[in-house]
Amino acid sequence: METIQPEGSGGGEAVRERENESASRKSFFKLVGGAGAASAFAVFLAACGDDDDDSSSGAGAKQPEKVADPGDLEIVQYALTLEHLETDFYNAVLDSGVVKDRKLGETAKLIRDAEQAHVDTLTGVVKDLGGTPKRPKTNFDAVLEGGERKVLETAAAVENLGAAAYLGQAPRIKSKDILAAALSIHSVEARHAAALNAVVGKTIVPDGAFAKPASMEEVLPQVMPFLA
């Protein structure tokens, strides 16, 4: 879960970037077949700030035609904050140079790019639903200090948690478009998890034939240690 045509009026790169974001979201929902909270999460959001890259807000921003279901908006924001955590984690790992193996480094970059695409798309979806994207402040120093093995084990744990988090929200989602989008991202997170499980010597199917969901109340305490 991913996530162009400038009108040539000399609006420059900023205009093209906004149009690309909008087209990305439309293409994303088209790809997954779309047509067009918990108190624990409120605590979690208290540690997050507004998205700094709010390029599509302001006087010229297009407002949604109708207010989204508040539960769906909460879920998309929840997914976005988790994707920010994942993206920040891989950026911290890559910047640190703690992973020495070239192939593992390339895998980390591939996963990071997918997580960033999720962030970009979900940021736009939150805005389209009338919300204000939130971004957590993160710190992974304790993990990085543990060396390559600790980093890889944490990556596997984070990806397995992410896949379970998406699955846990599926029954709560009202919009068919958002449900399809969430499940498409869930599939990618599960593939990341399987690859990293193999790297650290764990089974690629830790839950057996049927994946187990995780609720917000189960997920959020596990990511709290990564908040700055």
Query: What digits encode the pLDDT tens for the residues 94-107?
Result: 999 999 999 999 99
For residue 166, what are the CA distances in angstroms to 83, 99, 109, 146, 158? 11, 28, 22, 28, 12
Contact indicator for 78, 129 with CB cutoff of 8 Å: no
Q: What confidence category does residue 212 fall into, taking pLDDT thresholds of 50, 70 and 90?
A: very high
Distance in Å from the first CA to the final CA of the chain: 26
| Predicted pLDDT at 69 | 85
Q: Can you tell me the mean pLDDT for 4-21?
A: 45
Q: Can you tell me the mean pLDDT for 211-225?
A: 96
Is residue 4 predicted with pLDDT exceeding 90?
no
User: CA-to-CA distance for 176 and 183, rounded, in angstroms?
Assistant: 11
Closest among 143, 166, 148, 155 to 196, alpha carbons compared = 155
Percent of the chain with pLDDT over 70: 70
Q: What confidence category does residue 149 fall into, taking pLDDT thresholds of 50, 70 and 90?
A: very high
Q: Count other C-beta atoms under 10 Å from residue 186's C-beta.
A: 23
User: CA-to-CA distance for 155 and 90, rounded, in angstroms?
Assistant: 8
pTM summary value: 0.77
Is residue 67 predicted with pLDDT exceeding 80?
no
Mean pLDDT lowest among 51-55, 203-207, 221-225: 51-55
Write down all domains in the chain, each with its CATH number in brackets.
Answer: 12-226 (1.20.1260.10)
Q: What confidence category does residue 47 fall into, taking pLDDT thresholds of 50, 70 and 90?
A: low
Both tokens of residue 22? 């909008």
Mean pLDDT lowest among 10-24, 41-55, 111-125, 146-160: 10-24
Q: What confidence category does residue 15 fall into, taking pLDDT thresholds of 50, 70 and 90?
A: very low
| Predicted pLDDT at 208 | 97
| Predicted pLDDT at 22 | 54
